[in-house]
Amino acid sequence: MSEQKTVLITGGSRGIGAETARLFGENGWAVGITCRRSPERGKALVQELTAAGVRAKLYSCDVADRAQVDRMVEEFLRDFGQLDALVCSAGIARQELFTDITQESWREMMGVNLDGVFHCCQAVLPHMIHRKAGRIITLSSMWGQVGASCEVAYSAAKAGVIGLTRGLAKELGPSGITVNCVAPGVIATEMNQNLSPESMQSLAEETPLERLGTPREVAQTIWFLASEGGSFFTGQVLAPNGGYIIG
């Protein structure tokens, strides 16, 4: 079994996930990333990482589909031999009035943002529990902490991720596995491109640091939790949000 540490990052082809893959690679980890909607970008990232000397592979997977997740994790373990950290960053966002949310839209939001975390955690746990080691980092949002108008489904799903993280941390602590959550504020990623420049500027001005966050800053928070520095953190929610939400 390889001594090189390995990380599996869902939704790793762009934004926070892609920057997280780069950061882990820079720190000597082997990296597996999943994507569903951006295969070409995923391939380009793997090529970038490989060119930089990182052992990396792309997996096509819809995290809302349990069968696909199980197959993906099995393939990852065949390829890399072990899994040291799971980063659940796959997610979707959508703005709509609560009264306009269809059952299909609600289920898609829950399927990717919450069920996907459940599926991935369950799929990797037999391996981690057997080794009595592992780091799980989930991605929520500041809206999962306080809620957002016109993003009720998103807020509900991300609040669920926080609850899952805290409960699972208590359950897995005796097995030597840490489970923590990162809840970013407004980050300059493609997920926020549906917002107007005026809205983005307003959000920046409402942030005490008076700017948007970067994917790199969120990736550094994720990296900390997977590194030795994060070894005594579990069940925690770290919030790189520039002070937008305090408390």
Q: Around Cβ 191, how many Cβ atoms within 10 Å?
A: 17
Model-level pTM? Answer: 0.95
Answer yes or no: 59 catalytic: no
What's the confidence (pLDDT) of residue 2?
47
Residue owning tokens 């926080």: 162
The CA–CA distances, whole Å, from 231 to 8, 159, 179, 234, 246 equal: 18, 24, 10, 8, 24
Task: Please name each of the domains of the chain with its CATH number.
Answer: 6-236 (3.40.50.720)
**Buried residues in 172-182 as b, exposed as e (16+ CB within 10 A):** beeeebbbbbb
What's the confidence (pLDDT) of residue 3?
82
CA neighbor of 123 nearest in space, from 55, 170, 63: 63
What's the confidence (pLDDT) of residue 193?
66
From the number of C-beta atoms within 10 Å of its C-beta (0-12, 13-18, 19+), residue 156 rates as middle
Residue owning tokens 């955690």: 121
Distance in angstroms between the alpha carbons of the first and the last residue of the chain: 43
What string of pLDDT tens digits covers the 247 residues of the chain? 448 999 999 999 999 999 999 999 999 999 999 999 889 999 999 999 999 999 999 999 999 999 999 999 999 999 999 999 999 999 999 999 999 999 999 999 999 999 999 999 999 999 999 999 999 999 999 999 999 999 999 999 999 999 999 999 999 999 999 999 999 999 988 767 667 788 888 889 999 999 999 999 999 999 999 999 999 999 999 999 999 999 7
Q: Around Cβ 44, how many Cβ atoms within 10 Å?
A: 15
Of the candidates 24, 76, 154, 244, the residue annotated as catalytic is 154
- Amino acid identity, position 68: Q
Reading across the β-sheet that carries 85-88, which strands appear in turn? Answer: 56-60, 30-35, 6-10, 85-88, 134-139, 177-182, 237-238
